[in-house]
Each structure stands twice: as C-alpha cells, then as structure tokens.
Amino acid sequence: MKVLILEDETLAGQKVQNLLNEIDSTLVVLDVLKSVESAKEWFDNNEQPDLVISDIRLLDGLSFELFETIEYPNPVIFTTAYDQYAIKAFEVNSVDYLLKPIQKEKLANALTKVKNKTETATIQYQDIINIMKSQQVEYKSRFMIKAGHKILAIPIEKIAYFYSLNKLTYIISADNKKYPCDQTLEVIDQQLDPKLFFRANRKYIVKFEAISEIHPYFKGRIKINLTPEAEDDIVISSERTPDFKKWLDQ
C-alpha cells in the first residue's frame, strides 16, 4: 500500500512514518507534505496513493480544501490535535480519524479497516466539507493554569507568547509573567485563532502584538524580537518564511 502523509509538523510527520514502519514494513510512504498548495501540486504530478493520512490543519489552511479541488476516490485517515471539529463527519463512507498524539494501536486498527475495505462508492468528501463549513470554530479565550495552590484564568488578550523548554510549556504574559501550562505547543496551536498567533518554530508560538522587531537572517530565514524579551533567538525557517509574511499581511 502506498501512503501519502499530509502533516505540517516535522516531528509529527516523522512519528507517523515510524509508526507505519513498525505496524507494516511493506507500506511505502510516498511523501510527507506540509501545505495544501504543495499537496495540490503533488497530485497534479503523481499517481494516486492508496491512502492519505492527513492532519486537518496544514500550514496554509484546512486539508479539506485539497479535496475540494482534486478527484481522490481512496480512503483518508484524518488526524487532529484538538477535537474542535465535527468528528462524526469523519464517519462518512468509511473515512477514519485519529486524535493526536497518535497511538500505535489505533493507527493499526485504522489501517486494518482500510485494508479490509471492500469496493464501495467514491468517498463523498463534499459531505464532510459541507459539515465542516457549517461548524462555528471556537478558539480559546483563556487558559486555566495552576499557580501554587491557586488556579488562574489567563485571558488570550494578556498572552504575549507560548514557548517550550525541556518538554515543559510556558505562557508569557504581556506584563512579563511566566506561567506553566500542561498542554503541548502542538495542542495549543490548534486552539488558537490563527489570525492572532503564529507557530514560529518548534519552541515558540507568538502573538502579533508581541513582535517588536523583524530582521532578515541567513539563508532566507527571518529573526524576530519579542516584547517581553524571549530567552532564545527566535528564527523562522526559510520554509516557514512565506507563511509568516502572509500572516503579517492579513
């Protein structure tokens, strides 16, 4: 079986590949793509894969946008880090879904479902797309955090950025207070309004208002300074730079 992976997080894409290899070494991963546009180009120039494993949110939009523009009759396993979407929609015509972090057993069960699938009608992705469009996506308005023996609510308006360090996640407020957060950046990113926040790299999610300076950097990259000041140099990769510029120019 030939598999195409759509995943905008490098580590998450690698994890899916590793799990597939552990489950069935005969599976062939054709490519790992990070955006809707790159996936469209891929389908224009390659034969159809037998299966697509796709994150819902890619670098430049929802993966459903891809299926609006191409003819793809084969199964898709959708993945999502945050259950804010109409999960029941994924049950349409044997389309499966997995919540992140992806578990090996659940991925294996989904693959078995695909392999045992008999001939059926073409999957009606438009049915899924219509349901998705009918849903009002609600982004987080506050984060609940523990501060000693207290539980505090930190409104989005007061958050400057999120960052991870040694597998821990922190919130930095606009008045330079630091709060621990029990969610990963991957999960947090799915809960934030993409017009307000940008995933700069693996360690930082930044708010537009927190960006104080933007500088060209080596090899097509961009370096940004934040207020309050971050502990690290925040460099946006050349691959992410076009998306960052689009985000700035909304």
Q: For the chain, which domains are there?
A: 2-134 (3.40.50.2300), 142-248 (2.40.50.1020)
pLDDT in tens, 38-80: 999 999 999 999 999 998 888 887 888 888 888 888 888 888 7
Beta bridge partners of 204: 163
Which token pair is 51?
A: 């299966």
Mean pLDDT of 84-109: 69
Residues whose CB falls within 8 Å of the CB of residue 202, separated by 6 or more in sequence, listed in order: 10, 11, 164, 185
Provide the 8-state DSSP code for 8: S
pLDDT at 118 over 60: no
Long-range contacts of 242-246 (CB under 8 A, 24+ apart): 243/35, 243/59, 243/60, 244/198, 244/200, 246/60
Alpha helices by DSSP H, listed for the chain, are 10-23, 36-45, 64-69, 104-115, 125-134, 185-191, 241-248
In this structure, of 27-41, 122-136, 217-231, the range with the lowest mean pLDDT score is 122-136
pLDDT at 166 over 70: yes
CB 79 within 8 A of CB 97: yes
CB 89 within 8 A of CB 130: no
- In order, the DSSP letters of 120-161 are -PPP-HHHHHHHHHHS-----SEEEEEETTEEEEEEGGGEEE
Q: What is the rounded radius of gyration, in angstroms, for the C-alpha atoms of the chain?
A: 19
Which token pair is 240?
A: 């992410």
CB 161 within 8 A of CB 207: yes
What is the pLDDT, as a whole number, of residue 93? Answer: 43
Q: Binning pLDDT at 50, 70 and 90, where does residue 121 land?
A: very low
